[in-house]
């Protein structure tokens, strides 16, 4: 995951920390250097969002062991489509960002022992639960902690990204998550023909029964 | 008939998705359909969790069968409506009113057009309108606004009766 951060940050224009001189692999997302903890300038808002989405997607796709492949299928499809479809020239629409924020906020728990811990959403904020069993952990523990820290910062960035108070549905027959099309006739005004007919039918049946009894 | 679709829509504030019924077409068989649109009661939803009220901007066709006009709103594209229009034209001819709906990308313009045709005043959403300096002409415009359902005229167009001096309203 650390290599992924470095690669993506380099592609977007990696900066070095003015205090310790180390490369800022988190692309200034948290506003602090991952190495020395000193303040670091933030990058372009939109590029940072792209970086945050790519990081969260990478973690969710490759390192999460809590969700089953079936549970992951839909969110991953949405996230990968988001990474593929949009660039600086074609910014992410407001509604897609709201859907993304909804996925991140309602993710519950992601991670696993192999990466060294689990990220838990507590009251809308991602928090880290370090794995008790270090034997199950793969790779360098420091790198794993940096990875988890980086993903938490990415999730926080996505959740705090400003959105408009509206939701756009692009098509007339879309399937955002569930699409039930229904044509509704106007409720009948007055009219009691059905009830009267039923009443007389019951009356007729009763009369026949009484007659034969 | 009105076309209603149920969606799971996340709230922009609390991000919790909830089931919402969204209109894609509405006609005057629903009581006060025009007024409901003008009052921002169609496709405006309340989040059950945080009580945030927000607009779901979706394609919406308003069809007044009595006055035979239609107005269409879509925030981004008219492509789907134009595709449907082709079928309507084939069935009912080029001049059928549903095939010639006035189209708008802007919700305020959409409402203003319905208000004009219905002879009503659209409610003004303060969040959408730019702030005016004190003494702006907006209030005086609204105070002096009138419309007539006989000739379809209003304060901007004036009386459209073929001979204004014989207008049944003024006489």
pLDDT of residue B13: 92
8 Å CB contact of A98 and B58: no
| Residue B57: band (very low, low, confident or very high) from pLDDT cuts 50, 70, 90 | very high
More confident residue, B147 or B41: B41
Write out pLDDT tens, residues B96-152: 888 888 889 999 999 999 998 888 766 655 454 444 444 444 555 555 666 776 676
Measured between beta carbons, which residues in chain A are less than 8 angstroms from residue B9? 167, 176
- Each as own residue / partner, the long-range contacts of residues B128-135 (CB below 8 Å, 24 or more positions apart, any chain) are none
Q: Which residues of chain A have pLDDT under 70?
A: 87-90, 134-137, 171-192
| Spatial distance between the Cα atoms of B84 and A199, rounded to a whole number of angstroms | 45
**The predicted structure's pLDDT at residue A172:** 56
Chain A interface, mutation test: which of B3, B7, B74, most A Cβ atoms within 10 Å?
Answer: B7
Q: Is the pLDDT of residue B37 over 70?
A: yes
Q: Which site among B9, B54, B127 would you substitute to test the A interface, given the most A Cβ atoms closer than 10 Å to its Cβ?
A: B9
Write down the pLDDT at residue A152. 93
List B104's β-bridge partners, or say none.
Answer: B73
Contact predicate A31/A24, CB 8 Å: no
10 Å Cβ neighbour count for B28? 16
CA distance A112 to chain B (A): 25
Cβ–Cβ below 8 Å for A176 and B8: yes
Mean pLDDT of chain B, nearest integer: 79
Chain A residue numbers touching B74 (CB-CB < 8 A): 172
Write down the pLDDT at residue B44: 93
User: 3-state class of B125 per DSSP?
Assistant: coil
Helices A2-12 and A45-58: angle between axes, nearest 10 degrees: 150
Contact across the interface for B5 and A179, Cβ inside 8 Å: yes
Residue A114 neighbours by CB under 8 Å, 6+ apart = A63, A65, A136, A137, A138
| Nearest to A115, CA basis, from A168, A64, A50, A81 | A64
> What average pLDDT score do residues B44-60 get?
91
pLDDT recorded at residue A165? 92
């Amino acid at each position: 995951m650390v290599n992924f951060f470095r690669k993506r940050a380099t592609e977007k224009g990696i900066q070095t920390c003015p205090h310790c001189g180390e490369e800022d692999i988190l692309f200034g997302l948290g506003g602090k250097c991952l190495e020395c903890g000193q303040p670091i300038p933030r990058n372009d808002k939109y590029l940072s969002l792209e970086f945050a989405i790519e990081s969260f997607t990478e973690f969710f796709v490759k390192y999460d062991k809590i969700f089953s492949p079936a549970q992951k299928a839909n969110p991953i499809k949405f996230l990968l489509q988001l990474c593929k479809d949009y660039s600086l020239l074609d910014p992410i629409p407001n509604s897609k960002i709201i859907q993304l924020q909804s996925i991140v906020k309602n993710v519950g728990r992601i991670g696993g022992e192999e990466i060294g811990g689990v990220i838990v959403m507590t009251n809308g904020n991602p928090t880290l639960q370090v794995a008790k069993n270090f034997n199950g952990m793969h790779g360098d523990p420091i790198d794993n902690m940096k990875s988890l820290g980086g993903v938490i910062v990415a999730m926080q960035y996505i959740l705090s990204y400003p959105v408009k108070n509206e939701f756009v549905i692009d098509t007339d027959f879309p399937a955002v998550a569930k699409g039930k099309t229904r044509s509704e006739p106007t409720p009948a005004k007055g009219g009691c023909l059905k009830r009267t007919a039923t009443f007389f039918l019951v009356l007729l049946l009763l009369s026949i029964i009484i007659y034969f009894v | 008939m009105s076309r209603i679709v149920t969606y799971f829509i996340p709230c922009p504030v609390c991000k919790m998705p909830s089931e919402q019924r969204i209109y894609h077409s509405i006609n005057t068989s629903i009581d006060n359909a025009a007024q409901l649109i003008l009052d921002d009661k169609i496709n405006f939803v309340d989040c059950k969790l945080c009580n945030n009220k927000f607009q779901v901007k979706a394609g919406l066709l308003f069809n007044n069968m009595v006055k035979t006009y239609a107005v269409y709103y879509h925030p981004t594209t008219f492509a789907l409506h134009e595709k449907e229009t082709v079928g309507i034209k084939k069935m009912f001819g080029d001049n059928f009113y549903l095939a010639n709906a006035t189209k708008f990308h802007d919700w305020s313009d959409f409402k203003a057009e319905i208000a004009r045709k219905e002879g009503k005043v659209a409610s003004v959403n303060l969040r959408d309108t730019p702030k005016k300096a004190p003494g702006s002409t907006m209030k005086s415009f609204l105070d002096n606004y009138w419309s007539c359902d006989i000739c379809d005229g209003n304060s901007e167009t004036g009386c459209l009766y073929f001979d204004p001096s014989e207008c049944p309203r003024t006489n």
